Amino acid sequence: MREKSLKWTTRILLAVTVVFTVLYFNLPRIHAWEVGKQEARTAWNEYVDSETQMNHLVIKETKTGEEAVKGLRLRLPEGIPADEIKISKDDLTQTLRIEIPHTDGSYFQNDPITGSSDSIAGLFYVQGKKADIIEITMDQVYELDIEYDEKYYYFNFIVPHEIYDRIVVIDAGHGGNDPGANRQGIMEKDIDLAILLELKELFEHSTENIHVYYTRTDDSNPTHEQRVGLANKVNADLFISIHNNSTKSGRVSSISGTEVMFSKSQEGDFASENLAALCMEELTLALGSRDRGLIDGDNIYIVRNSEVPVALVEVGFMTNKEELKLLNSKEYQKKAAEALYRAVIRAFEEKEQE
């Protein structure tokens, strides 16, 4: 009897040991799976909440005397002054966001927005926990002329070229969860952005009459459609996308130098190839890098779909040890930015001479 009891005890202990061992080695995996499930549930709940809270808002077409109201007019909620309303605009998504302190339930039912819907693709509102939000999707990129008085906010939508004679769009490649090339812990997305920010600094202190839109100025990752879409929707004069190169294998190599892609299918007095040639000339001169030539880039989405002169610059090779060290230095990034700035100035000079 005692032998049977010992055998059963041994078997139970062995089974417990096996279960414990399986759990011990798989616990991180099980935990990750459970966390993933929880995150999916949370995301779904947030999606459902947003769907139930988001409502269509109608623009009431009105006339003031005999003249139609231009743009949009937002009636201020009772007791809320204009300076307590926050307004932001995202050119990449053509979205205007109006954040209003909590209103009473009847505000959105009593036609708070009047005017013309000519520039509007979508209009929604959400009564959130902290504030009420109106989101306006515009049918293209506009600059806003905003005024307000004691009763209303006034929004007038202006096509950028009605204000600016010369418009450029600058894109920093990759970003967010897309690092691009990655060598020795250095990510291409960071170098691309660093060069763009140096270029942004130059344009902000420039006396040239050039307005610049940027696809990103932080570690975000706009879609390819958004990047080239911004250039097309503002009808930019020039579009430059900043990247850095690597060998196809991703292995360290002696290959180095600058390449510039352009749209071979694009024609005109000043086309992509003209812009690409100026970028190449200025970059190789400033950086002392090898000229690896201009390349037909019509197989690249943002190049192929650009309706304006476009140059995608590959400043250098991250798979070359010496060039990677240079690309990761602030001094070299600044030189690259100065070269691209000069290329833009020269491009406008050439365009205006035609």
User: 81-112 pLDDT, tens per residue?
Assistant: 999 999 999 999 999 999 999 888 789 888 89
Provide the domain count of the chain: 2
Is residue 38 in a domain? no
pLDDT value at residue 61: 79
Give the tens place of pLDDT for each residue, 227-236: 999 999 999 9
- What's the N-to-C CA distance of the chain in angstroms? 107
Rounded-to-integer distance, Cα 166 and Cα 238, Å: 9
Domain range spanning residue 144?
Answer: 55-158
Q: Cα-flanking dihedrals φ and ψ of residue 204, to 5°?
A: -65, -25
* CA–CA–CA angle 242, 247, 250 (5° rounding): 105
Residue-wise pLDDT tens digits, 119-175: 999 999 998 878 899 999 999 999 999 999 999 999 999 999 999 999 999 999 999
132 shares its domain with 237: no
Residue-level pLDDT at 91: 97
Whether the pLDDT of residue 27 is over 60: the answer is no
Give domain status of residue 43, yes or no.
no
Of 141, 158, 175, the residue that ends a domain is: 158
Question: What are the φ/ψ torsions at residue 198 (nearest 5 degrees)?
Answer: -65, -40
What's the Cα-to-Cα distance from 223 to each of 3, 182, 212, 239, 345, rounded to whole Å?
Answer: 71, 20, 19, 16, 28
Structure confidence at residue 53 (pLDDT) = 63
- Same structural domain, 251 and 336: yes
Q: Write the CATH number for 170.
A: 3.40.630.40
Same domain, yes or no: 183 and 295: yes
Residue 172 and residue 69 in one domain: no
Q: Are residues 207 and 334 in the same domain?
A: yes
Determine the pLDDT at residue 128: 81
How many whole angstroms separate alpha carbon 11 and alpha carbon 21?
15
Determine the 3-state secondary structure of 271 from DSSP.
coil
- The residue length of the chain stands at 354
- Position of tokens 């579009």? 239
Residues contacting 279, CB < 8 A, separation 6+: 240, 260, 311, 313, 339, 340, 343
Q: How many CB atoms are closer than 10 A to CB 292?
A: 18
